[in-house]
Amino acid sequence: MRRSVVHDRLAVAGARFGVGAGWERPLWYGPEADARYTYAAQPWWPHAAKEAKAAREAVALFEQSPFAKFQLEGPDAEKLVRRLFANDAAREVGRAVYTQMLNPRGGIESDLTVIRLAPERFFIVTSSASGVRDGMWIRKHLKGRAVLTELTSAYAVFGVMGPRSRALLAELTDADLSNTAFPWGTARRVFVGHGEALAVRMSYVGELGWELYIPTEFAASIFDMLLEAGVRHGLTLAGTQAMDALRLEKGFKHWGHDIGPEETPFESGLGFAVRLDRNDSFIGKAALQRQKARGVNRRLCLFTLDQGDALLLHEEPIWRDGKRVGRTTTGNFGFTLGKPIAMGMVHGPRPLGDDWLAGGRYELEVAGERLPAQIHLAPPWDPKGTRMRA
């Protein structure tokens, strides 16, 4: 029912589409004959592998227009931001903050990015699948002199990701894209060709890159400029299957599968996005303070398999020393690592520490067969996040 403004261009380029929240989105680019699913290695893995390789080694362009986008503005907008978000999202103008909205139990109701555009105006970006839900959650708590407006259809979004992304974009804008002028976690309005875009230095794939939020009337022409200039930098169009594999290798979570209202940030490895030292009180803060004091008895971890044709999806049982201790939440093939990879919630003693997690022998049960698995307590790809901040 919903298509991006460059849908026809993506189709000509060989996009194989899937659907999410009514949006037709590229899963990967390749021959139509490779769209068949199997219960083992997927026939389209080589195409997604090529796209993932471009994001890791050159530059990839992801069509991300389905992102749900909102503007929160008014004299009381900052007050609401401080109430809703666990991280300190009421930062200086131009700051982009990754954060969550929590329920009173500390469970994760939403996983999103908040960008401060002006003293009384915030730009909120969340996934297409949770856009309606997140908008309702914000409106439920909306009070005072603040207005929430959905802007999803006003902006196309192109993710330009990879170590050559800076060089590519430098050909199309006179903005200073250096680390000094444009550090990680910031947003700037820049001209790309003849159109203005909100460039946000964030990445869901774990590489240097920018998300470009472009008014829809300029999107097609800027897309063409990116493709033309991209020839000189090895630009490859990439779909959601490559993005999912890349984010798993980096340990990035997916709301609705890896995290949700029943999981807290401390259980999910998202404690870095919680600011308990703030003087103000956000929803869920008291519950998180209690949980931090007593510790958690379950943790979201990463696993890889050496059996290369195993198909990991989600809900596969996790075994530790012969005892079932949890289930996977998402899975894919890690094209950079060259092996299947999954995220999963592991249950254990309280407090659940790294020593206990690392001290076991793990297996993932795939199609009734237990396969040896390696647990990773840090992302197997770029664990310190230096590539994103290059």
State how far the Cα of 357 lies from the Cα of 354, in Å rounded to an integer: 5
The percentage of the chain sitting over the pLDDT mark of 70, rounded to a whole number, equals 100
Return mean pLDDT, the chain: 97
CB–CB of 184/390 below 8 Å? Answer: no
| Strand 59-63 relative to strand 15-20, pairing | unpaired
Q: List the single range of 25-29, 34-38, 296-300 with lowest mean pLDDT.
A: 34-38
151-156 mean pLDDT: 98
Read off the pLDDT of residues 313-369 as tens digits, 9 standing for 90 and up.
Answer: 999 999 999 999 999 999 999 999 999 999 999 999 999 999 999 999 999 999 999
Mean pLDDT score, 4-27: 96
User: What is the reported pLDDT for 138?
Assistant: 98
Strands 362-366 and 317-320: antiparallel
pLDDT at 60 exceeding the cut of 90: yes
Q: Hey, is 114 helix, strand or coil?
A: strand
Q: Which CATH architecture has domain 1-295?
A: 2-Layer Sandwich (3.30)
- Residue 243: alpha-carbon gap to chain centroid: 9
Per-residue pLDDT band at 224 (split at 50, 70, 90): very high
Q: Are 126 and 68 in contact (CB under 8 A)?
A: yes
Structure confidence at residue 36 (pLDDT)? 79
What distance in Å separates the CA atoms of residue 272 and residue 152, rounded to the nearest whole number? 28
- Give residue 212's pLDDT band: very low, low, confident or very high (50, 70, 90): very high
The pLDDT value given to residue 32: 78
Residue 35 pLDDT greater than 80, yes or no: no
Closest CA to 54 of 185, 270, 230: 230
| Predicted confidence band of residue 113 (pLDDT cuts 50, 70, 90) | very high
What does the alpha-carbon distance between residue 97 and residue 108 come to, in Å, rounded to a whole number?
16
pLDDT band at 218 (very low <50, low <70, confident <90, very high): very high
The rounded distance, in Å, linking the Cα atoms of 133 and 103 is 13
Stretch 122-150: mean pLDDT, rounded?
Answer: 97
Q: Where are the alpha helices (DSSP H) in the chain?
A: 7-12, 45-57, 77-84, 131-140, 165-170, 216-230, 240-249, 285-294, 354-358
Q: Tell me, what's the pLDDT at 299?
A: 98
How does strand 298-305 pair with strand 369-376? antiparallel
pLDDT band at 31 (very low <50, low <70, confident <90, very high): confident
305 closest CA partner among 382, 388, 374, 206:
374
